[in-house]
Amino acid sequence: MSASLYRREVVRELLRARGDLLGVAGLGSTAWDCTAAGDSPLTFPLWGAMGLAASIGLGLALAQPRRRVMVVTGDGEMLMGLGSLATIGVQQPANLAIVVIDNERYGETGMQLTHTAHGVDLARIALACRFRAASVVREASELAALRSAIHGGEGPLFAQVKVVDEKLPLVLPPRDGALLRARFRRALLGEAADSA
Amino acid sequence: MAERGEAVDWPRRIHAVLKEAGIGVVGYVPDAGHKRLIELCHADPGLRTVVLSTEEEGIGLAAGAWLGGARSVLLMQSSGVGNCVNALGTVKECRFPLVLIVTMRGEYGEFNPWQVPMGQATARVLEAMGVVVHKVARPEEVAPAVDAAARLAYGGYSCVAVLVSQAVIGIKSFQEQAAQ
């Protein structure tokens, strides 16, 4: 089944009117997608640490239980950290959503097929790991409900959004890791970030 | 709990240090050497104790917790250090504070040859990734080293590993390990 959703539009919709949502963006295309939707200090974009986006989201969700946390990452990145879905399933963070933008390709390295192109179903893995809700999203008409669940529904929530395997212009966030860490903490914690 | 004879209850002392240091999140992959500390952490409602499927996840957990304003420590066996190497690059680049408490295998009186290569390389692998290494070989040195590690990590924005020697843990056979 060929995909009809476009990744930049999906991410832009999920981040629309984000309020105090905290974001983690997996390395590569999903980081560029989040930046294209508007660079924010409250999104932590990864330039490395492949496989760790969901774990970083878990740590953030546990530390900030009153804030919503959304991890936006790619299918290849998620596949490298499948164990973290089991770890999240044990912790049951109600404020955490994992959104996999699934183009079924390793987009940064030559568009090689990932496991999801061969039918590996990440949403069913998440369900088996005790996520409260997990689904494959294919239609634009489903995005409003997904956005609403991310911003206010009971998690942990997982969505695997099938998107067109397009190559897009790069929209890059800052790449200095210490800067990204410091600006996130300043924006979230205020002056306390400097004395903690 | 009373300490038996001259034995130092170093896991209980580590737990006290973690509380003193304001640690809120403990991530771990079990090791026999960490058994008692893991039990103490799980029994403490003031700690969020997170069992990991691989040690590498713990680096992400700790980074995310720090982004959210919480301090954490990770407990692992020396073999798990090998699972963390690429993630430690992110810790260095972003200058995340991090405390690893590593119980050693493949080091002092090891009985399993498969543990020896990683155990012998643990300190050098950590140092190659920019981690400060504190080695401790006596029970009474463990908690002070964890205290120093937490101060250096959270005061000095550093990544610090305390390597607890097999001489402290004292397991000398498969049979002893299975009987834990």
Say yes or no: B63 contacts chain A, CB-CB below 8 A: yes
Per-residue pLDDT of B129-151, as tens digits, reads 999 999 999 999 999 999 999 99
Per-residue pLDDT of B148-173, as tens digits, reads 999 999 999 999 999 999 999 987 77
Q: Distance (Å, rounded) from C-alpha A173 to C-alpha A31?
A: 7
Q: In chain B, where are the structural domains located?
A: 10-178
Bridge partners, A71 (sequence order): A24, A98
Q: Distance (Å, rounded) from C-alpha A165 to C-alpha A184?
A: 31
Q: In this model, does residue B1 exceed pLDDT 50?
A: no
Q: Distance (Å, rounded) from C-alpha A64 to C-alpha B23?
A: 15
Per-residue pLDDT of B9-25, as tens digits, reads 999 999 999 999 999 99
Q: In chain A, where are the structural domains located?
A: 7-195
Query: Which of B57, B92, B99 to mutate: most A Cβ within 10 Å?
Result: B57
Q: In this model, does residue B5 exceed pLDDT 60?
A: no
Question: What are the chain B neighbours of A51 within 8 Å (beta carbons)?
Answer: 56
Tell me the three state secondary structure of residue A158.
strand
Per-residue pLDDT of B44-64, as tens digits, reads 999 999 999 999 999 999 999
- B89–A180 CB contact, under 8 Å: no
Q: Are A78 and A26 in contact, with CB atoms under 8 Å apart?
A: yes
Question: How high is the pLDDT of residue B128?
Answer: 98
* Residue of B113, B134, B138, B112 whose CA lies nearest to B32: B112
Inter-CA distances, A98 with A14, A56, A126, B48, Å: 12, 11, 10, 21
Per-residue pLDDT of A119-133, as tens digits, reads 999 999 999 999 999
Q: Distance (Å, rounded) from C-alpha A171 to C-alpha B2?
A: 61
Q: Distance (Å, rounded) from C-alpha B18 to C-alpha B162?
A: 13
Q: Dmax of chain B from CA atoms? A: 46
The residue with tokens 């390793």 is: A106
Question: How high is the pLDDT of residue B6?
Answer: 57
- Give the percent of chain A with pLDDT over 70: 99
Average pLDDT, chain A: 97
* CA–CA min distance B95, chain A (Å): 6
* CA–CA min distance B83, chain A (Å): 12
Q: What is the mean pLDDT of residues A137-163?
A: 97
* Phi, psi values for residue A123, rounded to 5°: -65, -40
Burial of B70 (0-12, 13-18, 19+ CB in 10 A): buried
**CATH number for the B10-178 domain, one of 3.40.50.720, 3.40.50.970, 3.40.50.620, 1.10.10.10?**
3.40.50.970
Nearest CA in chain A to B52: A87
Per-residue pLDDT of B87-105, as tens digits, reads 999 999 999 999 999 999 9
- B62–A52 CB contact, under 8 Å: no
Per-residue confidence at A116, pLDDT binned at 50, 70, 90? very high
Selecting from B25, B52, B59 the residue whose C-beta is nearest the C-beta of A87 gives: B52
Show the beta-strand stretches assigned E in chain B: 23-28, 48-51, 71-77, 98-103, 132-136, 159-164
Which CATH class for the A7-195 domain?
A: alpha beta
Say yes or no: B57 contacts chain A, CB-CB below 8 A: yes
Q: In this model, does residue A24 exceed pLDDT 80?
A: yes
* CA–CA min distance A79, chain B (Å): 13
The Cβ-side half-sphere exposure at A10, using a 13 Å CA radius, reads 30
Nearest CA in chain A to B73: A59
Q: Distance (Å, rounded) from C-alpha B76 to C-alpha B52?
A: 10
Question: How high is the pLDDT of residue B90?
Answer: 98
Question: How high is the pLDDT of residue B2?
Answer: 45
DSSP state of A105: E
Per-residue confidence at A2, pLDDT binned at 50, 70, 90? confident
User: Does B3 or A3 have the greater pLDDT score?
Assistant: A3
